[in-house]
Amino acid sequence: MIQILSLETYTLLLSVIASATAHVMLKIGAASLRQISFVDIFNPWLMVGVFLHGLALFLWIFTLRTVDISKAYPFLALGYVIVAIAGHFFLGERFTVANLAGTLIICFGLFLVVHK
Amino acid identity of residue 15, one-letter, is: S
pLDDT at 51: 97
Angle ∠(94,96,100) on CA atoms, nearest 5: 120
pTM of the model: 0.87
pLDDT at 41: 77
| In a domain? residue 2 | no
Q: Any residues with CB less than 8 A from the CB of 49 and at least 6 apart, and which?
A: 22, 23, 24, 25, 26, 29
Chain segment 81-99, per-residue pLDDT in tens: 999 999 999 999 999 999 9
Asked if residue 114 lies in contact with residue 71, where contact means CB atoms within 8 angstroms, the answer is yes
The domain tally of the chain equals: 1
Structural domain range at position 17: 7-114
pLDDT at 91: 95
pLDDT at 36: 76
Residue 1's pLDDT band (cuts 50, 70, 90):
very low
pLDDT at 2: 55
Chain segment 4-39, per-residue pLDDT in tens: 778 888 999 999 999 999 999 999 999 988 777 777
Q: What is the dihedral sign for C-alpha 7, 10, 14, 20? A: positive
Mean pLDDT (the chain, rounded): 90
| In a domain? residue 1 | no
